[in-house]
Structure 1
């Protein structure tokens, strides 16, 4: 099911070559990044399809034998590993690859995918709603199991949201599968709804509809800057994270145009834009966004993306069986 819109670039008539980009990036990022990319490559018409991570992954797999995209931009590394294993990606070393941290790219040379930034889990805590209901600010994952939060929590469904999948995967990796599923069962008792979008829990908390949204950190930081009564909390017991990555589609209609975009997508110009939204980017040296802790990178839980990718289908099947009934319409 589509959870976001198709954003097509308004291209001047002199543009002669179209590049089709599939992405799971947020609409506000796309709206800022694409005009900058078009200014850097004025002969390219950039056509962007935006879906949530789960829906984008399903669509790309469905199009495996007849790819419609030229490239993937800003999609979870766990999904990119699946696409690589399915033979859907054309290995490509974009210009400037040598400055990208090794942990942000496929280890093969040339790589099938290259990461650009990392999003991490945070709690978005509405101070006004919390005060009305006498809810303390949670500091850790364990705190969220307190019965005082029953009906006041909201988080993303991992089947549609990369943020939700990253959260569930980090819990299972951190606690072990038996203890992890037990934790998620207890957490479900306090959960009001599961959303289809990764950013929506924080936006709902910011709007005062719920006290606490489990989401990704940059949304909380942005809402707080915009004046929402939000505090965002990086859990003391470690924040799960996911790398957003890019890759060239095998069988792309416009591989040369796609390669030019992939080169731009790890340029300092592009990395500077990512750094406005994310505290962790693929090249060191960029300042963290306003409102984010300077030591954010040190608070990350050590994720095993290969495990997440290998176990994705079984994890989502189990989660859906247990908890999906609370998903929003």
Structure 2
């Protein structure tokens, strides 16, 4: 009886030790990835790393960047995964991101990564803007298909255009930055003033203008090309237009807290397996060996704006201050 009791106690102790050895560790990951992608990325990572669980904290790029800056002295994130390169450059300058060399770095496209020698962020994919044009609404209002940015300032489009507020949306900020960097500041601000005359409203989400165009709430949404592609594939009556100088950014990963579990999240996020998930939505990804044509995605490479991500990060506060003073009155209320 005594021997049996000892064996039972020993078995219970071993089972408890085994359970504890496989207890999952939570890693808090701040992101601006589209909401419908989060479960897919989390499940794939946790399938390969059953001892680590991702705890997502998600918001739009502008809001997530502001949150990280506000928490600078008491960071709550351990990893930032899926945030615009310009924001990552700013976070690095502010000392929020740690210098780190992930496993598999040599397989990544360097043009999407931190260009400085002490690298702290690495591109998962490149995301692009597009003009989402609702063919049915356009026919109702006799609106011609725009083919250039200047076309959008024509009086015929008055009240028919939505675009993201750059202060709360990285999608909006990258297009404003593309105009500023490629038109020159004076011409770009004049352009945005003329465009504002035709704007119905500014959204706080980068994908929302295209969603609204797809639903017929507006005729035109300056928005995420990936969202327009998805909606078009699902049957929305959209034509995607990519004028010369279309805004784009690297969507990147970086380390906030220097611990082993957080490093494993960063390592996995730049892996070939992770990039094979990114390519399902984005036509340009960080891994050199991952390529795939994305159905209905416009040909963006010939019209990509020249983008300086470090400059975008450095000038962000002043650009957003100026933009908000000029145009914020048309922004939708924050939910």
Which TM bucket (shorter chain)?
over 0.9
Give the corresponding residue for 2:164.
Answer: 156
**Cα RMSD for the two superposed structures:** 1.4
Q: Does residue 286 of the first structure (1) align with residue 286 of the second (2)?
A: no
* Matches for 1:1-329 after TM superposition, within 5 Å: 14-235=22-243, 237-249=244-256, 252=257, 255-284=259-288, 285-293=290-298, 295-329=299-333
2: CA distance between counterparts of 1:184 and 1:109?
Answer: 36
Superposed CA deviations along residues 17-45 of structure 1, whole A, max 9, x for unmatched, are 11000001100111221111111111111
**Residue pair 1:154, 1:191 contacting (<8 A) in 2 also:** yes
Larger radius of gyration: 2
**Residue pair 1:169, 1:308 contacting (<8 A) in 2 also:** yes
1: CA distance between counterparts of 2:295 and 2:303?
Answer: 17
- Cα offset for 1:288? 2.7
1: CA distance between counterparts of 2:313 and 2:322?
Answer: 15
> Secondary structure, in 3 states, of the residue corresponding to 1:106?
coil
Superposed CA deviations along residues 106-153 of structure 1, whole A, max 9, x for unmatched, are 133451111111111100011110100001111111111111000000
Structure 1 length-normalised TM: 0.92
Give the corresponding residue for 2:9.
Answer: none
1: CA distance between counterparts of 2:232 and 2:239?
Answer: 7
**Residue pair 1:279, 1:297 contacting (<8 A) in 2 also:** no
2: CA distance between counterparts of 1:69 and 1:178?
Answer: 38
Superposed CA deviations along residues 137-179 of structure 1, whole A, max 9, x for unmatched, are 1111111111100000000000000000001010111111110
- Which stretch of the first structure deviates more once superposed, 99-108 or 215-224? 99-108
**Residue pair 1:121, 1:216 contacting (<8 A) in 2 also:** yes
- Cα offset for 1:283? 2.5
1: CA distance between counterparts of 2:43 and 2:24?
Answer: 17
After TM superposition, what 4+ stretches of structure 1 lie above 4 angstroms from structure 2? none
- Which stretch of the first structure deviates more once superposed, 129-138 or 30-39? 30-39
- Cα offset for 1:239? 1.3
**Residue pair 1:16, 1:44 contacting (<8 A) in 2 also:** yes
2: CA distance between counterparts of 1:280 and 1:288?
Answer: 9
**Residue pair 1:279, 1:288 contacting (<8 A) in 2 also:** yes
For structure 1, the residue ranges without an aligned partner over 5 or more in a row are 1-11
Give the corresponding residue for 1:6.
Answer: none
How many residues are aligned here?
313
